[in-house]
Amino acid sequence: MKRYGKARVGIGLGLVLCAVLASGAVFAEVQVLPDTELMVEGKKITGQSRLLRHPAVKELLASFHRAESALQKKNLDDLMEFYAPGYNYHGLKASDVRRVWDEVFTHYKALSSLHLLSDIKVLQVDSRLRAEVTCTGGLYGTDERTGTRITLDSWFREVHYLVKEDGVWRFLGNAGEAPTAAPFSSAPHHPLF
């Protein structure tokens, strides 16, 4: 994608996020953006309708939708099915994420999220299928105590790594090197999506 194309995507994503946040709406949205590219086995697939028909994209979207459904129901056990047993985000493991989600469910209501997928790569790594999904979005909630609507987490063109295990895609972590421990001052909600 040329420099201007990426700038347009960035501006467009920013405008979508601003409009959604300003509306205060409660939603769980996972979208494949029109300019998304899919790379599978070294082959590039473009065109939103072609992408949406591809089996790997259908399966990835189904996993995100299951996680979104669990989020809406505040069902911690079902939500944790989205995370791979080997999940690692800067030293935080699935058990740490479970604790953070439990705190989110306790302190916030009307939870909603947005996932705008802009690039998807599916590749074979050590005899397992892995996906690298570039995503922009956020996690929002209303504070139980104050009634204030806030952003719990947001991300811009973050690369989510997923692995296919037992026939479903599970979240493995995000781009970047994973240090052995999370810094004390790190934001507690960032590893959630």
Total of domains in the chain: 1
Compute the distance between CA of residue 42 and CA of residue 122 in angstroms, rounded to an integer: 9
7-41: per-residue pLDDT in tens? 444 444 443 444 444 444 445 689 999 999 999 98
pLDDT at 73 over 60: yes
| Predicted confidence (pLDDT) per residue in 89-127, tens digit | 878 899 999 999 999 999 999 999 999 999 999 999 888
- pLDDT, average across residues 144-168: 94
Q: Residue 50 is part of which domain span?
A: 3-192
What confidence score (pLDDT) does residue 19 get? 40
Name the average pLDDT for the chain: 82
Nearest alpha-carbon partner for 131 in 160, 167, 157, 93: 160
Q: What pLDDT is attached to residue 191?
A: 57
- Of the candidates 52, 5, 54, 15, the one whose C-alpha atom is nearest the C-alpha of residue 156 is 15
Q: d(Cα 150, Cα 152) in Å, to the nearest integer?
A: 6
User: Does residue 16 or residue 43 have the better pLDDT?
Assistant: 43
pTM of the model: 0.79
At residue 177, the pLDDT reads: 43
In whole angstroms, give the CA distance from residue 185 to residue 127: 37
Check pLDDT > 60 for residue 5. no
pLDDT computed for residue 193 by the predictor: 67
pLDDT attached to residue 134: 95
CATH number, residue 102 = 3.10.450.50
